[in-house]
Structure 1
Amino acid sequence: MKKNIGVVMGGYSSEYKISLKSGDVVCQHLDPEKYNIYRIHILKDKWVHVMENGTETPINKGNFTIEVEGKTISFDCIFNAIHGTPGEDGYLQGYLELLGIPHTSCPMYQAGLTFNKRDCLAALKPFGIKCATSYYINKGQAINGEEIIKKVGLPCFVKANKAGSSFGISKVNSEDQLLPAIENSFKEDDEIIIESFLDGTEVSVGVITYNGEVTVLPITEIVSENDFFDYEAKYQGKSQEITPARISEEMTNKVTEVAKKVYTTLKMKGFSRSEYIFVDGEPYLLEVNTIPGMTAESILPQQAAKAGISLSELFDNAIEEALK
């Protein structure tokens, strides 16, 4: 008997358009002989099931069911393709877990922790995970530019603490650029993190649970045409994403070990893509993403392809792991 799979996409953040693309790709590559596939849009103003003809029917938020042709449809599993809130920060995970509905993303606590860059890095430091020197500011707090620069130096990066796709991030090269960068980050979040500039090769490492085993995928080197791997570089062709990365075997082994350690230390499930910069041959963690892009052009699917895993196999495995 075919399983009912709801593919949730959209979300409440600036990333919702990217999420809609990811969700559509997942729907296209799931096996219709194996699954009944339902496209679910979770947006600020509506939660709806979207049929192929564009007709929308509301989601019953009390039990996360839909009505289709007079029948109530409940879901055997939810494929979570929401980047940002509420799909990547733990809210959706907690809701589904309370309802007893399996989902393809990591559990609620891990989602909330990894979505909060400051808390995630602080949790991993005691386990020997290297990261940049950082300075934290909350909205409404007094801003001391001299103190910030004394701690993190120049250039530095100002980031929204809980945002993705490089929204709310700026590279600061001089003290006069600091305040505008902070104001830009506060448009995305009420917490920001300011980090020292790490000069070195940037790589992205996908880690998944595949056929029951924690699996590190081939590593991708990020070469941005811009100052850093910003929105344009990620989504508008302003970067090269080279898989496998042009790094030594020693560096490959080091970052593979660290990425796997991050995944297992945090007791992750589902997808994970973590970003690193090599400084003097050592990988420094930038952040951990738990709902990475799912289009064929996205980094983690590129890595899976290099490992001989098709999109259909990648998505099917995620559902099978969630159903275990």
Structure 2
Amino acid sequence: MKNVAIIMGGYSSEYQISLSSGNVVYSYLDKSKYNPYRIHILKEKWVMVDDEGNEYPVNRHDFSVDQDGTIITFDVVFNAIHGTPGEDGLMQAYLELLGIPQTSCGFYQAALTFNKRDLLSVLKPYGIKTAISHYINYGDVINEDEILEKVGLPCFVKPNKSGSSFGISKVKEKAEFMPAIEKAFKEDSEILVESFLDGTEVSVGVINYKGKVTVLPVTEIVSENDFFDYDAKYLGKSQEITPARISIEMQEKVMEIAKCVYELLNMEGFSRSEYILVKGEPHLLEINTVPGLITASILPQQANEAGISMPELFDNAIQLALAKKQ
């Protein structure tokens, strides 16, 4: 029996969503094959939480836990942390130093995909289409007219490194621009201002399934709100339609691009990328390397459509992580 640490929580605004994802993984893992343990990685503490809610501190020197005199070590880590430190490469690098395999991509791929500006810069030479963007560091002199002339209105102002649409605004007129900048700076010290892409939004899951890069059925996102924001993602203010209501040709095109991006970046584990289809051309918005894993989340919906159950999805991730170590 392999001991599996399911890490969840994190240091960002997404920690509650991550705890939900981690608990779903815990409930679906095959208990006849694995001993799963819930590990809460929070700013104030790293603890193992048992079924009664008792907490046991994690020894950060070797990622072990002393549970009433019994030292528990882990064969593999299932990463369910959205945002920092699970999606930006920090946990990946820490676990790699300790020699403990984990289910998500490597630390470089995590850091790169978490930084929207750097990701788009790396992919542009390969012909991957994106929105027109302008980048702002905290403290930079902001020339509103110059930026808005470049990206146009409406536009999006978003933190460069955050998830779940925290800190994002759709700016329709100049008066809304600076308040949107202030809102984004509450989440991150780097901001991306992007042109508005008018088209159908789709989400494409790509995973390594049984050793083969596999593109899952495409999901179409129809938000009741101005864009696919937090309420649309988590509070039911959107329709997520799998498979997407797009032509076979368009499905094949966006799936091919998503697979190409996964392979170009040497990705491993789960990934979910968002595209806007503008005049028949997919434009990449971002890539999530630790996507939501509750039953209603997009990637599990796509896996289900592909005939992959939740226990199979999670078991596959652990088996591939263990295979890496061997």
- Class of the TM-score when normalised by the shorter of the 2 chains: over 0.9
Q: CA deviation at 1:73?
A: 1.1
* Separation in 1, partners of 2:258, 2:36: 32
One-letter amino acid of the structure 1 residue matched with residue 207 of structure 2:
I
Give the match for residue 255 of structure 1.
Answer: 254
Structure 2 spans left out of the alignment, 5+ residues: none
Give the partner amino acid of 1:105. S
Do structure 1's residue 112 and structure 2's residue 111 form an aligned pair? yes
Partner deviation per Cα, 1:248-303 (whole Å, 9 max, x = no partner): 01100110010001100000000000000001101000000000000000000000
1:235 aligned partner, one-letter code? Y
CA separation in 2, counterparts of 1:68 and 1:307?
A: 40
Q: Which residue of 2 aligns with 1:281?
A: 280
SS in 2 for 1:8: strand
> Could you list the per-position Cα deviations for residues 84-121 of structure 1 after superposition, in whole angstroms to 9, with x for gaps in the alignment?
00000000000000000000010000000000000000
Per-residue displacement from partner, 1:73-92 (whole Å, max 9, x unpaired)?
11100000000000000000
Q: Equivalent residue for 1:97?
A: 96
Partner Cα distance (1:51, 1:239) in 2: 35
Give the aligned partner of residue 19 of structure 2. Answer: 20
- The TM-score, its normalising length taken from structure 1, stands at 0.99
Partner of 1:198: 197
> For residues 183 and 266 of structure 1, what CA distance do their matches in structure 2 show?
32
For 1:168-207, list aligned pairs within 5 A: 168-207=167-206
Q: Aligned partners of 1:56, 1:19: CA distance in 2, in Å?
A: 18
RMSD of aligned residue pairs (Cα, Å):
0.5
* Alpha-carbon distance, 1:68 to partner: 2.3
- Quote the sequence identity (%): 68
SS in 2 for 1:59: strand
Match of 1:79, SS state, is strand
Alignment of 1:293-312 (within 5 A): 293-312=292-311
In 1, the alpha carbon distance for the partners of 2:35 and 2:190 equals: 41
Give, as a single letter, the amino acid of the residue that structure 2 aligns with 1:247.
I
CA distance in 2, matches of 1:190, 1:27: 34
Q: 1:48 is paired with a residue of what secondary structure?
A: strand
Rounded to whole Å, the distance in 1 between the matches of 2:68 and 2:95 is 24
Write the letter of the residue equivalent to 1:158.
V
| Separation in 1, partners of 2:239, 2:195 | 24
Query: Which residue identity is paired with 1:288?
Result: I
Instruction: Return the offset for 1:71.
Output: 1.6
Point out where structure 1 has 5 or more consecutive residues left out of the alignment: none
Take 2:315 and 2:207, find their aligned partners in 1: how far apart are those partners? 13
Partners of 2:68 and 2:37 in 1: how far apart?
14
Distance 2:125 2:64 in 1: 43
1:30 alignment counterpart: 29
Aligned to 1:65: 64
Cα distance in structure 1, aligned partners of 2:292 and 2:221: 15
Tell me the equivalent position of 1:45.
44
Residues in 2 aligned to 1:156 and 1:287: alpha-carbon distance in whole angstroms: 16
Q: Counterpart in 1 of 2:236?
A: 237
Give the Cα separation in 1 of the matches to 2:226 and 2:249: 27
Structure 2 counterpart of 1:125 = 124
Moved over 2 A (4+): none
Give the CA deviation at 1:67: 1.4
User: What TM-score results when the alignment is normalised by the length of structure 2?
Assistant: 0.99
Q: Deviations over 1:12-51 (max 9, x none)?
A: 0000000000000000000111001100000000000001
Q: Partner residue of 2:215?
A: 216
Q: Secondary structure at the match of 2:129?
A: coil
Counterpart-to-counterpart distance in 1, 2:51 and 2:196: 47
Cα distance in structure 2, aligned partners of 1:53 and 1:177: 48
Write the distance in 2 (CA, Å) between the matches of 1:188 and 1:300: 25
Q: CA deviation at 1:69?
A: 3.7
Distance 1:214 1:300 in 2: 15
The letter for the 2-side match of 1:256 is M
* Cα offset, 1:72, TM superposition: 1.1
1:145 Cα deviation after fit = 0.6
Match in the other structure for 1:143: 142
Pick which of 95-104 and 69-78 moved more. 69-78
Q: Distance in 2 between matches of 1:168 and 1:312?
A: 34
Alignment correspondent of 1:76: 75
Deviation at 1:165, TM superposition (A): 0.1
Aligned AA (2:195): S
Letter in 2 for 1:226: N
State how far apart, in whole Å, the 2-side matches of 1:206 and 1:269 are: 12
Distance (whole Å) between structure 1 residues aligned to residue 82 and residue 131 of structure 2:
24
Residue 227 of structure 1 aligns with which residue?
A: 226
Structure 2 letter corresponding to 1:297:
A
